[in-house]
Structure 1
């Protein structure tokens, strides 16, 4: 089973043996870190948009920290699998850690500017009745890629198609286990919309990447039918690493900008810290040192708890019969994560400046999409009268993103591709650049863009 699950096959290109000096999974780590999409995460929000405090986390620093936690989880689980005699002979526990590390590095690589607010803004624009005409030509099964837009699916597209030159180059050409370990919701947007109406409609790949997705999950032995696809077991570790980090790091950032106190942070984690460790926390000379010390202790405790839960519920994890690993941890670990999230919801995510900037994000996206989507639409339907000068200039800005020279079977396919190209362009922007372009489009620009 694990011989299939850890098959180092790639979508395109040369296959590297696992026993080489540098494993294919370690190569994946490097490919992600050196990619332009990963580099742009340094200017995308984690929690606090356009923050001036350099101590706060960006999407990049968050992803790097998640990858460190993920590597520890993966190596620990790899050791557990080796003890059971289930690892293939050419796979070592450290290689399992590299797979999880790489997947963690890429887990947010498709996030648009302003994070979850950006996702909501894109969905909201396409759901607005005034913009309904732009979706009329599309089949309902693909409309939901826009009305339910999700950064997870965009990330899958980035790593499998967009990076390294274009949509037909294989993206970063990562190994199948790394790609599959990123996938938390192995369904289409249409199925997610139908199955979870009124709830979270998360999904992990666009229709444009359906064939790549099915190929990967079939080769890894995770696809019974196209409607019955299991998550890769290591994806639970990627999810857990993300949960651990944001439940701890979001409070560290909040303490840095004085939204919560150090005592409030300590109270949240008190039940998983021994008295002597709490005493050591209180001995630290500054608030920043105290919170950093708490972070290290808590992450270590949660990592150990997740590894124990994976081993305890191993059979259920392999079968895909669990929702997540954190919920299966011991009571103290679960309570600590739940309490941390509750404190963040109450005092961090609703903070006034953050809320104001997120409202502003809707205006940014509205300004961008009000120009780019009509430009794409009129270029496809070829209505020369309606391709105003503004839209023709917008098409020049989009450039190759619309893939104008591709061959399509139907006008609907061409329109879908054009819209996806717009989303590629807009979601790839950083927070500050998206704001700058929107200002220029609205005539409120304040000067030349500073790199």
Structure 2
């Protein structure tokens, strides 16, 4: 992994001849400057790394907080660093490929290692306090309390930060990144409303399936306010289909899956949260009773979800239903057998005790799996709707699915974690309601945090511009209604930018219970 320079790089923009290097506010370079400067993509990587939104990720929960489980637990920053390392390794390999696969990649726009590093560094910038729980809570509050039909989505928030909220050197251009990097963070290149009416089947792109509450796409990478920035970035890739990721984006997406599946496993093993006996019972029951389980009705499996073997069978049926383009019964069985042998009957046999031997065993295990997975990629000239131009091969795809199953089934469903998360959800709700009431108070609104007021003004500017340029994306052009929405979007932009600790401190301040007024209020 490359290390950043002492100060952020600040080059002028590259010439317009390369659409991938186009910035929002282009400038020209002399021929000598073009030769002397490193690629523009490197400059983008440094701009992201020096962003305060990037720095805050060190204090944002990945799955479980460091305060509750120790500093060895990953946060959003350490996760992003490791995603970037995996993504770069894959990109270097693909860039050096001279076979037909390499030619396909080149024809689709290329795969520059610095672009995938920058996209990996930026992919979680929009994640709010308290991990995925915070994302779900802010989405619900944005739609139900603030009147924002598009709600909140971490990927869309990341793109909004890069192209609008954060600033480098020019007003209104965000970090003014190249088109390549802006396009590479668009894992779900569509608006939320594009998910309405979809059936969620094998022909629906991953993430474009409707959310359970029918509010539109389950995942999306851009709010209507930021659609022009997405269109500008995607315009540099005429050969990439409408709902398809760029090559560099698909590499970043794969790296995210690999890091998530292994580094979260690392965390939970260190924290002693993975019950080897319970996991072993699940895997052994499925291996021994596959035929019997296959004959059960899906409703019966759901009702008996705590019975060993049932959850793995449900996983297989979900993969088969949604990803028939790659799902294979034989490959799934082989993946279950491999994870059982190497993880359940291997790594988890000896509880993590903090010894040097335990550290060495865990490091060796993780390195071996990462090396295996990041070298298990294939290139598709015309990928299925639920895949990218670069994807994991069939065996590795099933292995990652089973690795993810471990913490989805044995960590995320834990009642003790749920109790903690419900408390965090209530904290975020108090913040949203508290700031909304504050801004609605004509006698005191002017004393709200300056950053919050700036974000509301910025959102209003965006809504008014949208009303002029693309009114079809709005259901009203009434200025009063747009001001109300701007207030909501500004509040969401503000709360989503907090760290876990800042959110907790602000909650105490708004409740009048904090005894450390000035310390708790830093950053307002």
Per-residue deviation, 1:425: 0.9
Distance 1:406 1:279 in 2: 57
Query: Is the partner of 2:63 in helix, strand or coil?
Result: coil
Q: Residue 301 of structure 1: which of 362, 365, 372 is its match?
A: 372
Q: Which residue of 2 aligns with 1:184?
A: 187
User: Is there any run of 5+ residues in structure 1 with no aligned partner, and where?
Assistant: 136-142, 379-385
Cα distance between partner residues in 2 of 1:64 and 1:10: 25
Task: Tell me which residue corresponds to 1:150.
Answer: 153
State the superposition RMSD in angstroms: 3.7
1:321 Cα deviation after fit? 3.9
State whether residues 59 and 108 of structure 1, in contact with CA within 8 Å, keep that contact through their aligned partners in structure 2.
Answer: yes
Distance 1:256 1:344 in 2: 13
Alpha carbons of structure 1 residues 296 and 335: separation in structure 2 relative to 1, 3 Å: same
Correspondent of 2:359 among 275, 288, 291: 288
Cα distance change on mapping 1:47 and 1:167 into 2, 3 Å: farther
Offset of residue 373 of structure 1: 2.7
Corresponding residue for residue 138 of structure 1: none
- 1:258 maps to 272
Shift of 1:218: 1.9
- Contact kept? 1:240, 1:325, Cα under 8 Å: no
- What residue number does 2:140 align with? 124
With CA pairs under 8 Å and 6+ residues apart, which has the higher RCO, 1 or 2? Answer: 1
SS of match in other structure, 1:250: helix
Kindly tell me: are residues 168 and 417 of structure 1, through their superposed partners in 2, closer, same or farther at Cα, counting changes over 3 Å?
farther
Equivalent in the alignment of 2:498: 429
C-alpha distance in 1 between matches for 2:389 and 2:77: 24
1:372 Cα deviation after fit: 2.0
1:401 to 435, 440, 455: 455
**Distance change in 2, residues 1:31/1:279 (3 Å):** same
Pair 1:263–1:178, CA change in 2 (3 A)? farther
> Is structure 2 residue 244 aligned with structure 1 residue 239?
no
Q: Matched residue of 2:210: which SS?
A: coil
- The equivalent of 1:60 in structure 2 is 77
Q: Distance in 2 between matches of 1:322 and 1:420?
A: 31
Q: Deviations over 1:45-64 (max 9, x none)?
A: 11113535111111000000
Higher helix proportion: 1
Contact kept in structure 1, 2:105 and 2:247, CA below 8 Å: no
After superposition, the C-alpha distances for 1:186-205 in whole angstroms (9 at most, x for unaligned) are 11122235534344611101
Aligned residue runs from structure 1 range 257-406, under 5 A: 257-260=271-274, 271=338, 286-306=357-377, 309-310=378-379, 314-317=380-383, 321-324=385-388, 329-331=393-395, 333-376=396-439, 378=440, 387-389=442-444, 391-394=445-448, 396=450, 398-403=452-457, 406=461
Query: In the superposition, relative to structure 1, how do residues 221 and 244 fare at CA in structure 2: closer, same or farther (>3 Å)?
Result: same
Q: Deviations over 1:89-133 (max 9, x none)?
A: 9x9x8x7111111111100011111121111111222344xx3xx
How far is the alpha carbon of 1:223 from its aligned partner?
7.1
Q: Name the residue aligned to 2:8.
A: none
Measured after TM superposition, the shift of residue 364 of structure 1 is 1.6
**Local SS of the residue matching 2:71:** coil
Which residue of structure 2 lines up, in the alignment, with residue 197 of structure 1? 210
Q: Report if aligned partners of 2:254, 2:392 keep a CA contact under 8 Å in 1.
A: no
Mapping of 1:432-443 within 5 angstroms? 432-443=501-512
| 2:94 is equivalent to residue 77 of structure 1 | yes
- 1:219 counterpart residue number: 236
Structure 1 residue 12: deviation in Å?
A: 2.1
Change (3 A) 1:96 1:121: same
Conservation of the 8 A alpha-carbon contact between 2:254 and 2:391: no
CA distance in 2, matches of 1:18, 1:66: 30
Farther off after superposition, 396-405 or 101-110:
396-405
Q: Shift of residue 439 of structure 1? A: 1.5
Would the alpha carbon gap of residues 69 and 269 (structure 1) be closer, same or farther in structure 2, given more than 3 Å must change? farther
Call closer, same or farther: CA 1:34–1:82 in 2, change over 3 Å. Answer: farther
Unaligned runs of 5+ in 2: 1-15, 199-208, 284-334, 468-477
Larger displacement relative to structure 2 (261-270 or 362-371): 261-270
Counterpart check, 1:7 vs 2:20 = yes
Segment drifting more, 437-446 vs 189-198:
189-198
Deviations 1:399-420 (A, max 9, x none): 3122179493641333333322
C-alpha distance in 1 between matches for 2:450 and 2:130: 25
CA distance in structure 2 between the partners assigned to 1:351 and 1:281 by the alignment: 18
The answer for the alignment partner of 2:482 in structure 1 is 413
Q: Is the 8 A contact 1:81 1:87 kept in 2?
A: no
Tell me which residue corresponds to 1:36: 52
Per the alignment, residue 139 of structure 1 pairs with none
